[in-house]
Amino acid sequence: MQKNLSIEINSKNSDEKYDVVKFVGELDKVGHSDVDVELEKFVKSFTKKILVFDFAGLKFINSEGIGYLMEIHAFLMKNDKKLVIIGANSHVEDVFNTIGIQEIISIYANLTEFKSS
Amino acid sequence: MKIILKSLTRKLFLNFLLVSGVICGVYYYFYFTETESVHYYYLIGSISGLSVLFLFLYYFQAYRPLKITLRQMQALLAGKKYKRIYTNRIDEYGILAHFFNQVTAGLGEVSSDLKDRDRMLDELTIASQLQRDILPLKNSDVDGLQISAKNKAATEVGGDSFNFFTKKGKTYIYIGDVTGHGVSAGLIMTMVNSLMSVFTDMYSDAFDVVVNVNHYIKRHIKKAMFMTMVLLSWDNDKKTMSYVGAGHEHIIVYNAVTGLCDAIVSGGVALGMVPDNSKIIKEKKLALEEGDVAVLFTDGITEARNSQGELFGLENLKKAVVEYAQEYSADGINYHIAKDVSNFMEDHKQDDDMTLIVIKRTSKVSEKNSENISTIW
């Protein structure tokens, strides 16, 4: 059965500060259930300072998807870490702007912009 | 059943052999030891006695256990009360009784699960009814505005919320959407609705109401949950409208003069995301002239999907507002937009709660008073 959402974890980059998780598909309740076990395992064992979610392949997100992001954000903050989002398309960016998530989570256009910040 | 019939036949045959053997033995004994006239009486007596013994054995070994088992089976099949069959036998009857006991024990568990399910469904129905009772059941017009709200939960208990309050010369109209839907969202929605009722009494402007609702719910909901909201405040004397957004969907505003509509970003940040939202949210003016229409909605409408997986979207909603705003009252606009959404979805399942509020600025009193119109979609 085809998954609504898949993730690709790139934890082999040489930078010791961050890891990138690429999302492909739709982040809603159904999509989240496709990746929750893998994602939770990774987030709980994450040891670097910044976790970057690359949303370039993410086509859709709804308020439940934002809820999951908030949960991860809160967990990382509690452990003195940070969540960063890059590459959101116009729909995803609209949802972020509507809900006001940019007030809480740092959002960049791409990895280059994030690095230069 | 074949096994039972075989067993019955075998038992009957064995009993018959046993009784025949005993009769032959008795007859043989009397034939050689007693006089001819006496041994006939003994023979008849023996046959009668042994027949009774045969029937006795047959009754207790075969007929009675089978009758007990069949009676319980009939009770089970007829939906009547049945009992467990107690037996120490390890023959076919024992197996049959044991089989019956196992099946009925399983049925008992299923029945218990079904009862639990029925009980939970009953409780959900009560929760759903309680929630419906909390939300306004009828629409409510105020001087200068026609207001028409419709709400449809995706499950028994929804996470969408809306209400109208007239307090201290102001009418507050709010729409809210808790993350997801279901019981947890429903509980938060209920809590926020109560807070809105209390805080609109306590504070004199929409800004303070939203700041204090946020402050309260931030402490009481888990990290992954939040609620988006937009609160409109209508000054009943000055006939002016203002709004405070808390991360909610756009406000669609139709201009009766130009015949066009804008989607205004409500702004702010969703309730429950930050401990203090007072630096992020703002109370802004919303210009509404005679004939203008403001539409509030939850994402269940713009994210409604059809069977091809396409979204209804903001553009379709704006087009529908333009199409119906001039011609219809607030309730008519609401009805036609809801119909468009339903037509778009066709048979596709409703994924999220849907709420649509249409507010039309008008000095005319609607022919069909909104106060008599239900808020149920």
Residues of chain A contacting B248 with CB distance shorter than 8 Å: 98
Residues of chain B contacting A101 with CB distance shorter than 8 Å: 269, 273
Return the bridge partners of B152, or none: B354
Flag whether the ipTM exceeds 0.90. Answer: no
Encoded amino acid at A65, one letter: G
As a CATH number, domain A22-116 is 3.30.750.24
Residues of chain A contacting B228 with CB distance shorter than 8 Å: 63, 98-99
Inter-chain touch B247–A68, beta carbons under 8 Å: no
Which sequence spans correspond to the domains of chain A? 22-116
> Residue-wise over A64-103: b if at least 16 C-beta within 10 A, else e?
bbbbbbbbbbebbeeeebbbbbbbbeeebbebbebbbbeb
Chain B residue with CA closest to A95: the answer is B249
Return the bridge partners of B305, or none: B311
- Residue A101 DSSP symbol: G
Q: Residues of CATH 3.60.40.10 domain(s) within chain B?
A: 135-372
Q: With the C-alpha atoms ordered A35, A37, A38, A39, is the resulting torsion angle positive or negative?
A: positive
Encoded amino acid at B361, one letter: R
Tens-binned pLDDT, residue by residue, of chain B (377 aa): 566 667 667 767 777 777 777 777 777 776 777 556 666 777 778 778 878 887 888 888 778 888 888 888 888 888 778 888 888 887 777 888 888 888 888 777 777 788 788 888 887 777 777 777 788 888 877 889 999 999 988 877 778 899 999 998 999 999 999 987 677 788 888 889 999 999 999 999 999 999 999 999 998 887 778 999 999 999 999 999 999 999 999 999 999 999 999 999 999 999 999 999 999 999 999 999 999 999 999 999 999 999 898 999 999 999 999 999 999 999 999 999 999 999 999 888 888 889 999 999 988 655 555 556 778 77
Pairing, β B251-255 against β B240-246: unpaired
Distance of alpha carbon B375 from alpha carbon B140, whole angstroms: 10
Inter-chain touch B274–A103, beta carbons under 8 Å: yes
- The CA distance from B268 to the nearest CA of chain A, in Å, is 6
Cβ neighbours around B75 below 10 Å, total: 14
Nearest by CB to A98, which of B223, B249, B352?
B249
- The CA distance from B85 to the nearest CA of chain A, in Å, is 47
Nearest by CB to B224, which of A62, A67, A104?
A67
- Considering only the top CATH level, what class is B135-372? alpha beta
Tokens 């909605």, residue located: B297
Return the bridge partners of B147, or none: B359
Distance of alpha carbon B50 from alpha carbon B46, whole angstroms: 6
Tokens 């409780």, residue located: B123
Chain B residue with CA closest to A68: the answer is B224
Distance of alpha carbon A71 from alpha carbon A91, whole angstroms: 21
Chain A residue with CA closest to B303: the answer is A62
Q: Does B134 contact chain A (CB < 8 Å)? A: no
Distance of alpha carbon B94 from alpha carbon B86, whole angstroms: 9
- Give the pair of three-digit tokens for residue A2: 């085809």
Tokens 């739709």, residue located: A26
Nearest by CB to B177, which of A29, A63, A103?
A63
Nearest by CB to B223, which of A71, A100, A103?
A71
In the stretch 344-363 of chain B, residues with CB closer than 8 A to chain A read 352
